[in-house]
């Protein structure tokens, strides 16, 4: 689209990459190459961003809340402002929300990608110099761990004190604020362009939300994902009211699907990149989020048994990481029938676990054997 002239830096167009810290190692390499080419050849800013949390006071009580940060295209091990790739951001989300996402509640997509993107766009479209300071201004934490546990008990939390404190340790150990950042520090392209605001963040919600077009790379063979987003726009008009809990799509967002509209399928995309001598080149069945629970236990077991030279031990490209995280953040509660415990894991209530998959102990015809199409996590 950039080569065809559909995107314009002067208009304020921007390319975004949401890093969940759980991508395949090759995904980072490929995304960095694409962003460098887009900035160099077309002058379009390309930003990488991540979910994070900050401390803020609400009704006199300090708590963590959702925020975001810009990151560079270098690993955090090489650059303090670089991206994370060992599951750090994903784990912070789990510690923050106190539960694991599952096929029935895919909070990872909304909170790691969509909500942070909305916050970023409010500042970008507002014509600001960059993301403003978020959180309080002290270097120390003001969150009272004992008070947090009391609120947990008041909300009928069933975990013992040790389990609760283990779960919140990650998020409460994060920095209390996100310092001010500048767009120009995270892109090689210029950022002086005509945008909606005049140096003040706009709002994507309310009675007069900012309007913008989102260009999504969904293909013609991914029509269910396209339809789901278009259906979501029908509810978006009322999403700005105070009583509406839907926050996955702002009312002023207009989604556009050039690949789907042009009839492009996966094979067309593969041909496009092969003609250019490069591509994502992920192992068969791996995908960007290698061990996503949406794939189903059958495919996950096949991926776990496959050989991937780019797999990094104890990171999201390794099933052992998912097993460790599931053991730490799964919830247990007394069963409603009064007998035994109910376990809430990545596969829902009393479903299979990543340990079962790794040890080949999951059922071959269970409820979660068959997953959804690759990357089908739009909603």
311 or 376, which is more confident?
A: 311
Residue 344 domain flag? yes
Q: Which residue has the tokens 């278009």?
A: 230
Residue 223 has pLDDT above 50, yes or no: yes
Distance CA(250)–CA(237), nearest Å, equals 8
Cross-strand pairs, 56: 63
Residue 136 domain flag? yes
Q: How many domains does the chain have?
A: 3
Residue 379 domain flag? no
Same domain for 121 and 157: yes
Same domain for 110 and 232: no
Segment 5-14 shows an average pLDDT of: 91
Distance CA(65)–CA(62), nearest Å, equals 10
Give tens-digit pLDDT for 139-174. Answer: 999 999 999 999 888 888 888 899 999 999 999 999
- CB atoms closer than 10 angstroms to residue 106: 17
Same domain for 207 and 196: no
The distance between the two most distant Cα atoms of the chain, rounded to a whole number of Å, is 64
Provide the percentage of residues in the chain whose pLDDT is more than 90.
Answer: 67
Q: What is the pLDDT of residue 379?
A: 47
* Beta strands per DSSP E along the chain: 15-19, 46-58, 61-75, 82-83, 212-215, 253-256, 331-334, 341-345, 348-349
The DSSP annotation for 301-326 comes to HHHHHS--TT--TTSTTSHHHHHHHH
Give tens-digit pLDDT for 16-71. Answer: 999 999 999 999 999 999 999 999 999 999 999 999 999 999 988 999 999 999 99
Same domain for 211 and 80: no
Same domain for 101 and 74: yes
Among 171, 201, 231, give the residue marking a domain's end.
201
Residue 4 has pLDDT above 70, yes or no: yes
Among 156, 173, 201, give the residue marking a domain's end.
201
Describe the strand order of the beta sheet including 348-349 as a list of residue ranges: 331-334, 341-345, 348-349
Residue 137 domain flag? yes
Among 276, 299, 317, give the residue marking a domain's end.
276
Residue 309 domain flag? yes
Same domain for 228 and 183: no
Residue 235 domain flag? yes
Instruction: Note down the domain range covering 231.
Output: 203-276
Residue 164 domain flag? yes
Same domain for 213 and 113: no
Structure tokens of 311?
């797999």
Instruction: Give, rounded to a whole angstrom, the gap between the first and last alpha carbons of the chain.
Output: 25
Q: What is the DSSP letter of 188?
A: S
Residue 281 domain flag? no
Give tens-digit pLDDT for 240-271. Answer: 555 555 678 898 999 999 999 999 999 999 99
């Amino acid at each position: 689209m950039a080569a065809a002239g559909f995107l314009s830096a002067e208009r304020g167009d921007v390319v975004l990459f949401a890093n969940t810290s759980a991508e395949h190692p090759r995904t980072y390499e490929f995304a960095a190459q694409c962003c460098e080419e887009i900035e160099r050849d077309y002058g379009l800013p390309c930003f990488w961003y991540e979910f994070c949390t900050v401390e803020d006071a609400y009704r006199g009580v300090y708590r963590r809340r959702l925020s975001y940060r810009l990151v560079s295209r270098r690993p955090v091990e090489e650059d303090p402002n670089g991206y994370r790739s060992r599951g750090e951001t994903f784990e912070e989300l789990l510690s923050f929300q106190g539960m694991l996402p599952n096929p029935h509640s895919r909070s990872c997509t909304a909170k790691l990608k969509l909500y942070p993107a909305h916050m970023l766009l409010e500042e970008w479209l507002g014509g600001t110099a960059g993301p403003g300071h978020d959180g309080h201004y002290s270097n120390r934490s003001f969150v009272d761990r004992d008070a947090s546990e009391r609120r947990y008990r008041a909300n009928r939390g069933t975990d013992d004190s040790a389990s609760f404190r283990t779960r919140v340790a990650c998020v409460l150990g994060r920095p209390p604020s996100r310092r001010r950042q500048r767009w120009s520090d995270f892109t090689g392209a210029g950022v002086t362009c005509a945008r909606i605001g005049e140096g003040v963040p706009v709002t994507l919600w309310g009675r007069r939300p900012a309007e913008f077009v989102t260009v999504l790379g969904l293909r013609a063979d991914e029509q269910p994902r396209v339809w789901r987003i278009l259906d979501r726009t029908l509810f978006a008009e009322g999403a700005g009211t105070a009583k509406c809990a839907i926050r996955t799509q702002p009312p002023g967002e207009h989604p556009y699907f050039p690949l789907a509209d042009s009839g492009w399928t996966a094979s067309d995309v593969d041909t496009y990149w092969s003609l250019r001598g490069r591509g994502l080149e992920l192992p068969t069945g791996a995908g960007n989020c290698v061990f996503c629970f949406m794939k189903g236990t059958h495919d996950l077991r096949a991926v776990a048994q496959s050989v991937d030279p780019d797999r990094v031990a104890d990171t999201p490209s390794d099933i052992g990481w998912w097993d460790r995280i599931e053991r730490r953040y799964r919830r247990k509660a007394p069963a409603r029938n009064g007998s035994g415990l109910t376990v809430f894991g990545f596969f829902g209530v009393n479903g299979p676990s990543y340990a079962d998959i790794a040890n080949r102990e999951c059922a071959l015809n269970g409820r979660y054997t068959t997953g959804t199409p690759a990357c089908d996590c739009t909603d």
